[in-house]
C-alpha cells in the first residue's frame, strides 16, 4: 500500500499512539472521488510510528462507489470522522497501541472475488487484528466474501442477511419527521416524489415507508396518484417526467406540499413548478434530503442532512469493539438525520 505524504510528526507527549492513515491507489474508481479520498488522506498525514508491545488494529476502508457526485462531498466527512475517532480510541484504550487505516476506493463492479482473491486482501493473515469498513453498497456477494474472512462493519448499506454490524441513516424516521413538520404548518395534501432508481431500492423504500407511516399516524390520506417513482409496481419515470406530473398534480389535484427523497429531485421539481407558474413556497411547499447547495437562482430547499462525520466515527468505534470483542451481539445503529432549515416551506394558501 502507498502511504500519503507525511505532515511534520507530532511529539509523543502531545500525540500518543496515533493512527496511521493510508490511501491505496485504485484506478477503477471514479477519478473525482478517488482524488478527493487521496486529498483527504494527505491532509490527515501519517504520524510517526513507534515499536511497542500493545495491540495494533488494521482497518481497511473499502469505498464501493464508482464516482457519484454526492460521494465527493460526503466521503471526506466520513473519513474525517473515522480518523478523528481513531485518535480518540488509541488515547483512551490502554490495550490498543495503534490503529492502521488503509483506504481503498473502487468500482463495485470491479470487485469480483469469484475471479480470485482481490489484491488488497492477499496480505491478510489470520492472526491479524483486522477489520473492514464497507462504505456505500458493494455487491452482496462481495460483502459476504469480505465478512467471511475478517470482521466487517457496513456503512450506508444494510447487508442484513450477512449478519454484519451496520451504521446507517434513519431514513424512515427522518422523512416521518418532515411530514410531521409539514402537517404542523397546515398541510394535509402531501405528495411523495422519488428518483428513477430501480423499483425496490431499499433507501427509497425506507423513505417512502416513513412518509406513508406518518400520514397514517396523522390520519392523512395516502393517494396513489400523489406518489411518484416509489410504488413497487408503479411506472418508473425520468426525473423530468416525474417533476412535470407533480406540477400537474399540484395544479389540478390540490397537492400543497411534496416530500422529495433527495435534494436534486426537490430542485428539479422547484424548477418545473416555477415554469408552470407555481411559486415555491407560496403556492406549493417542497422538501428534500441531503442538504446540498442550491443551484443558482433557486431557493434553498428545506431539507435533511446525514451527519457523515458522526457516521464515520460510529463505524470506527463499532469496528474496534467488534475486533476486540468478537463474540458481542451484532448491532445495527441508525443515526438521526439533521433538519436543515430552508426557504421552500410555508403554510398552504387558503382556497
Ramachandran angles phi, psi of 337, nearest 5°: -75, 155
- Those residues whose C-beta lies under 8 Å from the C-beta of residue 304, and which sit 6 or more positions away, are 174, 175, 177, 178, 287, 288, 289, 290, 291, 337, 338, 339, 340
pLDDT given at position 240? 84
pLDDT band, very low/low/confident/very high, at 300 (cuts 50, 70, 90): very high
| Grid cell for residue 283 | 403556492
pLDDT given at position 191? 97
pLDDT (tens digit per residue) in 213-230: 999 999 998 999 999 988
Please list the residues that pair with 259 across neighbouring strands.
192, 287
pLDDT-wise least confident of 101-105, 178-182, 254-258, 301-305:
101-105
Reduce the DSSP state of residue 231 to 3 states and report it: coil
User: What DSSP string describes 273-324?
Assistant: HHHTT--TTTT-EEE-SS-PPPPTTSPPPBEEE--HHHHHHHHHHHHHHHHH
pLDDT (tens digit per residue) in 118-175: 666 665 555 467 889 998 767 777 788 888 888 899 998 777 677 789 999 999 999 9
H or E element in which residue 286 lies: strand 285-287
pLDDT (tens digit per residue) in 31-87: 565 566 556 655 554 433 344 456 889 898 988 765 555 566 788 899 999 999 999
Please tell me the distance from the alpha carbon of residue 233 to that of residue 337, in angstroms, as a whole number.
29
pLDDT given at position 145? 82
Please tell me the distance from the alpha carbon of residue 15 to that of residue 18, in angstroms, as a whole number.
6
Average pLDDT over residues 279-292: 95
pLDDT given at position 94? 87
- Identify whether the C-beta of residue 260 lies closer than 8 Å to the C-beta of residue 266: yes
Please tell me the distance from the alpha carbon of residue 9 to that of residue 28, in angstroms, as a whole number.
32
pLDDT-wise least confident of 89-93, 201-205, 214-218, 244-248:
201-205
Please tell me the distance from the alpha carbon of residue 29 to that of residue 26, in angstroms, as a whole number.
6
Radius of gyration of the chain (CA): 23
Please list the residues that pair with 104 across neighbouring strands.
62
pLDDT-wise least confident of 98-112, 216-230, 239-253, 262-276:
98-112
Q: Which domains does the chain have, with CATH numbers?
A: 20-163 (no CATH), 171-305 (3.40.50.2300)
pLDDT band, very low/low/confident/very high, at 106 (cuts 50, 70, 90): confident
pLDDT (tens digit per residue) in 304-341: 999 999 999 999 999 999 988 888 898 999 999 999 99
Task: Give the pTM.
Answer: 0.79
Task: Name the more confident of 3 and 320.
Answer: 320
Amino acid at each position: 500500500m502507498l502511504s500519503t505524504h507525511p505532515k511534520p510528526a507530532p511529539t509523543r507527549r502531545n500525540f500518543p499512539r496515533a493512527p496511521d492513515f493510508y490511501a491505496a491507489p485504485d484506478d477503477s474508481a471514479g477519478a473525482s472521488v478517488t482524488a478527493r479520498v487521496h486529498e483527504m488522506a494527505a491532509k490527515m498525514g501519517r504520524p510517526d510510528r513507534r515499536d511497542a508491545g500493545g495491540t495494533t488494529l488494521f482497518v481497511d476502508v473499502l469505498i464501493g462507489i464508482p464516482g457519484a457526485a454526492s460521494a465527493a462531498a460526503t466521503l471526506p466527512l466520513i473519513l474525517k470522522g473515522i480518523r478523528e475517532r481513531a485518535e480518540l480510541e488509541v488515547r483512551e484504550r490502554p490495550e490498543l497501541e495503534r490503529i492502521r487505516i488503509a483506504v481503498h476506493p473502487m468500482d463495485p463492479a470491479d470487485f469480483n472475488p469469484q475471479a480470485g482473491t482481490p489484491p488488497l486482501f492477499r496480505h491478510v493473515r489470520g492472526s491479524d487484528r483486522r477489520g473492514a469498513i464497507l462504505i456505500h453498497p458493494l455487491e452482496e456477494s462481495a460483502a459476504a466474501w469480505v465478512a467471511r474472512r475478517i470482521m466487517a462493519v457496513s456503512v450506508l448499506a444494510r447487508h442484513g442477511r450477512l449478519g454484519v454490524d451496520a451504521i446507517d441513516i434513519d431514513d424512515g424516521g427522518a422523512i416521518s419527521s418532515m411530514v410531521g413538520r409539514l402537517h404542523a404548518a397546515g398541510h394535509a395534501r402531501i405528495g411523495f416524489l422519488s428518483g428513477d432508481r430501480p423499483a425496490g431500492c431499499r433507501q427509497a423504500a425506507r423513505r417512502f415507508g416513513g412518509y406513508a407511516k406518518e400520514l397514517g399516524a396523522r390520519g392523512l390520506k395516502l393517494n396513489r396518484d400523489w406518489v411518484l417513482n416509489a410504488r413497487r409496481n408503479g411506472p418508473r419515470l425520468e426525473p423530468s417526467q416525474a417533476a412535470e406530473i407533480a406540477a400537474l398534480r399540484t395544479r389540478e389535484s390540490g397537492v400543497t406540499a411534496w416530500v422529495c427523497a433527495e435534494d436534486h429531485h426537490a430542485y428539479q421539481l422547484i424548477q418545473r413548478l416555477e415554469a408552470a407558474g407555481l411559486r415555491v413556497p407560496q403556492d406549493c411547499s417542497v422538501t428534500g434530503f441531503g442538504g446540498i447547495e442550491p443551484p443558482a437562482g433557486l431557493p434553498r430547499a428545506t431539507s435533511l442532512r446525514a451527519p457523515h462525520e458522526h457516521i464515520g466515527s460510529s463505524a470506527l468505534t463499532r469496528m474496534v469493539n467488534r475486533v476486540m470483542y468478537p463474540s458481542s451481539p451484532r448491532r445495527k445503529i441508525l443515526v438521526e438525520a439533521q433538519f436543515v432549515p430552508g426557504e421552500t416551506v410555508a403554510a398552504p394558501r387558503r382556497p
